[in-house]
C-alpha cells in the first residue's frame, strides 16, 4: 500500500495519506465486486469514513446516548444561541441518524422510539418556562407542539435508517442461508 511520507509536519496534517488496494470479492454473477473505473481500489473518501468510530450500542445505550446528546445540545443552544428552536431542530437530525447507525442490529427497533424521548428531554433547557413546575411543563408541551416538524423529521430519519439496516441484514441472512444450502447440496454424493 503506497503511503505518503510524513515529512516535518506535526499534528493532524502529519497523518499518512494512502489509497489502499482492497481485496476484490467475486459476485455470484461472475463479475468482481469492484469492477468499474478503478477495480480493486478503495476511494480516499471510503477510507476516511472507515476511520470514524463504529460503536454498537444496546437499545438502552443508544437511548442514553441520544438523551445525553440532546440535553447537552439543548443546554449549549440556550447558552450560545439564546434557545434557537431551528438550530435545536437541525442538531436533532444528526443525533437521530447517529443513534440509528450506532444501535446494534438486534436493537434496531429502539432507535425510532428513543429519539423522540431524547428530543423531549433536550427541549427542556430551551423551552423557557417560568412559574414553577406547571409553567415549565406548559413551556415544554408548547415547544414540542411548535417543533413537531423537527420531531417528526428526526424520527423519520431514525426510522428509515433502522429500516434500511434491518432489510440489508435480512437479505444478508438469506444470501448466507442460500450459500450454505448450495454448499450442502454440492457436498452430497450423487447417486
Q: What is the pLDDT of residues 58-107, one digit of tens each?
A: 889 999 999 999 999 999 999 999 888 899 999 999 999 999 999 999 99
Q: What is the pLDDT of residues 111-160, one digit of tens each?
A: 999 999 999 999 999 988 787 888 888 989 999 999 999 999 999 999 99
**pTM of the complete model beyond 0.75:** no
Provide the sign of the torsion angle of the four alpha carbons 154, 157, 158, 160, taken in this order.
Answer: positive
Helices (H), 82-147: 85-102, 111-122, 124-127, 132-146
Residue 73 near residue 121 (C-beta atoms within 8 A):
no
- Predicted confidence at residue 182, as pLDDT, reads 85
Q: How many CA atoms lie within 13 A of 149 on its CB side?
A: 5
Interacting residues of 83 by C-beta distance below 8 A, sequence separation 6+: 77, 125, 126, 127, 128
Three-state secondary structure call for residue 37: coil
Largest CA distance in the chain: 86
Cell numbers for 104, please give them: 446494534
What are the domain boundaries of the chain? Answer: 11-52, 59-182
Amino acid at each position: 500500500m503506497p503511503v505518503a511520507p510524513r515529512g516535518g509536519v506535526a499534528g493532524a496534517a502529519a497523518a499518512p495519506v494512502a489509497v489502499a488496494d482492497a481485496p476484490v470479492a467475486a459476485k455470484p454473477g461472475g463479475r468482481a465486486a469492484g469492477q468499474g473505473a478503478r477495480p480493486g481500489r478503495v476511494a480516499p473518501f471510503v477510507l476516511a469514513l472507515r476511520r470514524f468510530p463504529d460503536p454498537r450500542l444496546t437499545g438502552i445505550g443508544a437511548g442514553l446516548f441520544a438523551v445525553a446528546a440532546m440535553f447537552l445540545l439543548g443546554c449549549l443552544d440556550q447558552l450560545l444561541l439564546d434557545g434557537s428552536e431551528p438550530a435545536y431542530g437541525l442538531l436533532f437530525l444528526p443525533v437521530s441518524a447517529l443513534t440509528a447507525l450506532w444501535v446494534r442490529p438486534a436493537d434496531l427497533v429502539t432507535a425510532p422510539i428513543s429519539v423522540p424521548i431524547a428530543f423531549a428531554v433536550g427541549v427542556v433547557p430551551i423551552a423557557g418556562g417560568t412559574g414553577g413546575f406547571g409553567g415549565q411543563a406548559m413551556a415544554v408541551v408548547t415547544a414540542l407542539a411548535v417543533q413537531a416538524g423537527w420531531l417528526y423529521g428526526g424520527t423519520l430519519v431514525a426510522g428509515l435508517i433502522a429500516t434500511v439496516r434491518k432489510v440489508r441484514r435480512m437479505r444478508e441472512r438469506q444470501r448466507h442461508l442460500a450459500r450454505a444450502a448450495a454448499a450442502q447440496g454440492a457436498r452430497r454424493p450423487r447417486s
